Amino acid sequence: MKALRAFAACVVCALAAAPALARVPQLELDLRLDPASRELQASARLEAGADPGFALYRSLAVRSVSADGSAAAFERAGREGDAVLWRIHARAGAKLRIEYGGVLPALDRSLDQRGALGALAPMASSEGSYLPASGAWYPSPAELFSYRVTLSLPADQRGLVPGTLVAEQVPEAGTGRYRATFAFAQPSDGIDLMAGPYVVREKLVPRAGAAPLRLRTYFTPAIEPLAAGYLEDSARYIAMYSKLIGAYPFDAFSVVASPLPVGFGMPTLTYIGAEVLRLPFIRATSLGHEVLHNWWGNGVYPDYATGNWSEGLTTFMADYAYKERESAAAARDMRLGWLRDYAAVPAAEQGSLAAFRSRAHGAAAAVGYGKAAMVFLMLRDRIGQPAFLRGVRAFWKAERFRVASWADLRAAFERASGRRLGGFFAQWVERAGAPDVRIVRAQARAAHGGYELDLTLEQTAPAYRLRVPIEIVTGARSETRSIEVEHERQTATFRLAAMPDGVRLDPELRLWRILPRDQLPPILRQWILARGPRLIVTGAQPDAAQAATQLALRLFESAPRQIAAAALERGDDPALVIGLHADVNKALVQLGLPPEPAALAGRGSAQVWTIERPPGRAPVAVVSARDAAALEALARPLPHYGAQSYLAFEGAHAIVRGIWPAPGRLTPVTR
Ligand SMILES: [Zn+2]
């Protein structure tokens, strides 16, 4: 789904690159927040820098400043976006105490993940307050600093910032105020504060030789029944990654419900839309992704100047690892998804991994998440799982709470595998784009009592160095070999026991490359995003025709053009054939299109499928329903299934879905 897709590609609380993380300044904040009136009263203690000053959100104002215990002069020194710059007259090193406050903007419920990616204003309301690190709601002492925050809230509210809970006072019987103190000892680049009408649930997990791990959920009463499951799964993910990588680097982890449809990973917590938290797959995948960011992103900081590797490694070790555990087919589907998304990125936007910083738009995500994850897969294929894991552990041990780059990753994997990986990392990290590799000749002959197969591959210039998997098909049997290539045209010879029939290039999609059309199965997204979609409404029943048109308006992002069935081949824009079963079947016969696929026949109240067509012919998708109500039921769910080739629905509920297999063309072997 749209909000979910945005969630799945979360944003780690971005840490600015900093060369050294030695001793950092400390900030102490005492906060009193009243979400109903949106009033924030704050007191900050910090050490003055050389030219003391800071930015503060425009609705907040400084009331008094003291330096080493005496009143100090201060003034407004200009504007910076939505913030006012304040200057303080104090010597460097003076102990400053700054009293400030004001009324925060109301929570903007129209914000979604995309909107929330930029700098946000601090926002408050009874249903939820979010004061993001980018919101200039406190005087920042430096780019990186550690902090201690004491938060006071009305009795019915709870709140938190990333860090260790060091003190907490829960008011009795709803009177008085809630108070909690959090400390963050590691260098941080900002403080995100969240509050809301939360019910807090907690699970303490004992740890050998360390304080127990405090797991919490901050959920609204409506989703509070989900808390136990989230606590259990958080504990499970933390235990799993601690064992795999190295001990969890913090002593707390919280899942915090947001009134906004966002999904953010921050150290020690994740902030997720309350509606999103209800979805079962969030616990099964996205939660693990966010937990893992406590190692990659918030435990080791990516060096943004040379490329953010943390999303790729997190995607590979979380989302992709779960698919691998599910089945080989599920893992292949995810690899196909990465390659297919990438195939849709215009060449000009295909940046290198070295240039990836964060997910600003779809093209960046296809590279920074998809390509980066595939690079880790290719690396593991090359050096083997044991060396890959040794490298991951060594990298964690060496770089914990430090800024690390792709070069540091390379060094860790080189040591772990005993191999030089300079060429591998250079071509995949520094270079933009992907190789385009093809089989141009496959010829076999009887030789030496067996058979020899000569295979010639070509790739675009400048050539990549690749190990290309080749499937050799002989009758009903098939085996996979590989060819090492480094030139634009290269021939290899295989010795075989039987005369082969055909060969296929990388049918399992383990290579980052430009997918040819025959490995790109048609999916509904091609219809959803089509610039000039065409609509063929079959049948004459007015209520069905109206439901069909309404559904098409919901599905397509551009308004469709209604055409007669006979006009299908007079254009190559994607077309949707839609109607009731009998009318659709008749139209398919009339158009010479294949009938409803066997995988869907008789399943549910409506079926949707795409049809693979020869090059140059208009892509066709079909929606076939039992009655007008079954068509109406699709209007809400169908647009969310862009990644599928076929589905069956019972009412609004998808009961079958999938992507057509597209193993690639079998190149016949000539004899
Ligand atoms: Zn992420």
For residue 277, the model assigns a pLDDT of 94
Tell me, in angstroms, the distance from the centre of ligand 1 to residue 537's CA: 42
Nearest CA to 451 out of 669, 304, 656, 660 is that of 669
For residue 83, the model assigns a pLDDT of 94
| 3-class secondary structure, 144 | coil
If you average pLDDT over residues 165-186, what whole number do you get?
91
Tell me, in angstroms, the distance from the centre of ligand 1 to residue 359's CA: 9
If you average pLDDT over residues 480-501, what whole number do you get?
95
For ligand 1, a single-atom ion, the residues with CB < 5 A are: 10, 311
Task: Give percent of the chain above pLDDT 70.
Answer: 94
Q: Take residue 86 and report the two structure tokens written for it.
A: 């304040």
Tell me, in angstroms, the distance from the centre of ligand 1 to residue 276's CA: 16
Tell me, in angstroms, the distance from the centre of ligand 1 to residue 290's CA: 6
Crossing angle of the two packed helices 328-343 and 372-383, in degrees rounded to 10: 130
Tell me, in angstroms, the distance from the centre of ligand 1 to residue 259's CA: 20
For residue 132, the model assigns a pLDDT of 93
Give the C-alpha separation, 244 to 527, whole Å: 42
Tell me, in angstroms, the distance from the centre of ligand 1 to residue 269's CA: 13
Tell me, in angstroms, the distance from the centre of ligand 1 to residue 365's CA: 10
For residue 363, the model assigns a pLDDT of 67
Neighbours of 558 (CB within 10 A): 12
Tell me, in angstroms, the distance from the centre of ligand 1 to residue 641's CA: 22
Residues with Cβ within 8 Å of residue 203, at least 6 apart in sequence: 215, 216, 231, 232, 235
Q: Considering the entire predicted model, what is its pTM?
A: 0.83
Tell me, in angstroms, the distance from the centre of ligand 1 to residue 312's CA: 8
Give exposure, 355-380, as e/b (b: 16+ Cβ within 10 Å): ebbbbeeebbbbbbbbbbbbbbbbbb
pLDDT digits 0-9 by tens, 610-653? 998 887 889 999 999 999 999 999 998 998 888 899 999 999 99
Tell me, in angstroms, the distance from the centre of ligand 1 to residue 547's CA: 39
Sequence-ordered alpha helix ranges (H) in 525-601? 525-528, 542-555, 581-590
Residues with Cβ within 8 Å of residue 346, at least 6 apart in sequence: 363
pLDDT band at 261; cut points 50, 70, 90 = confident
What angle (nearest 5°) sits at the alpha carbon of residue 587, between those of residues 662 and 549?
Answer: 90
Look at residue 393 and tell me whether its pLDDT is greater than 90.
Answer: yes
Tell me, in angstroms, the distance from the centre of ligand 1 to residue 283's CA: 15
* Max avg pLDDT among 244-253, 275-284, 565-574: 244-253
Tell me, in angstroms, the distance from the centre of ligand 1 to residue 284's CA: 15
For residue 434, the model assigns a pLDDT of 93
Look at residue 15 and tell me whether its pLDDT is greater than 50.
Answer: no
pLDDT digits 0-9 by tens, 513-527? 999 877 888 889 888
If you average pLDDT over residues 498-507, what whole number do you get?
94
Tell me, in angstroms, the distance from the centre of ligand 1 to residue 333's CA: 20
Tell me, in angstroms, the distance from the centre of ligand 1 to residue 9's CA: 6
Tell me, in angstroms, the distance from the centre of ligand 1 to residue 476's CA: 43
Tell me, in angstroms, the distance from the centre of ligand 1 to residue 208's CA: 29
For residue 63, the model assigns a pLDDT of 97
Task: Give percent of the chain above pLDDT 90.
Answer: 75
pLDDT digits 0-9 by tens, 34-79? 999 999 999 999 999 888 999 999 999 999 999 999 999 999 999 9
For residue 1, the model assigns a pLDDT of 22
Tell me, in angstroms, the distance from the centre of ligand 1 to residue 665's CA: 35
Neighbours of 79 (CB within 10 A): 11
Tell me, in angstroms, the distance from the centre of ligand 1 to residue 310's CA: 8
Tell me, in angstroms, the distance from the centre of ligand 1 to residue 317's CA: 11
Look at residue 11 and tell me whether its pLDDT is greater than 50.
Answer: no
Tell me, in angstroms, the distance from the centre of ligand 1 to residue 27's CA: 27
If you average pLDDT over residues 91-104, what whole number do you get?
96
The mean predicted confidence, pLDDT, of the chain is: 91
For residue 2, the model assigns a pLDDT of 22
Tell me, in angstroms, the distance from the centre of ligand 1 to residue 7's CA: 9
pLDDT band at 22; cut points 50, 70, 90 = low
Residues with Cβ within 8 Å of residue 173, at least 6 apart in sequence: none
Crossing angle of the two packed helices 385-399 and 372-383, in degrees rounded to 10: 120
pLDDT band at 165; cut points 50, 70, 90 = very high
pLDDT digits 0-9 by tens, 585-609? 999 999 999 999 998 988 999 999 9
Look at residue 535 and tell me whether its pLDDT is greater than 70.
Answer: yes
If you average pLDDT over residues 360-379, what whole number do you get?
85
For residue 117, the model assigns a pLDDT of 55
Tell me, in angstroms, the distance from the centre of ligand 1 to residue 313's CA: 9
User: Of the ranges 113-117, 418-422, 538-542, 666-670, which one carries the lowest mean pLDDT score?
Assistant: 113-117
Q: Take residue 84 and report the two structure tokens written for it.
A: 């006012």
| Structure-model confidence comparison of residues 359 and 492, the more confident one | 492
Tell me, in angstroms, the distance from the centre of ligand 1 to residue 558's CA: 31
If you average pLDDT over residues 183-209, what whole number do you get?
94
Tell me, in angstroms, the distance from the centre of ligand 1 to residue 136's CA: 24
Tell me, in angstroms, the distance from the centre of ligand 1 to residue 202's CA: 25
pLDDT band at 338; cut points 50, 70, 90 = very high
pLDDT digits 0-9 by tens, 446-465? 998 999 999 999 999 999 99
Tell me, in angstroms, the distance from the centre of ligand 1 to residue 318's CA: 10
Look at residue 114 and tell me whether its pLDDT is greater than 70.
Answer: no
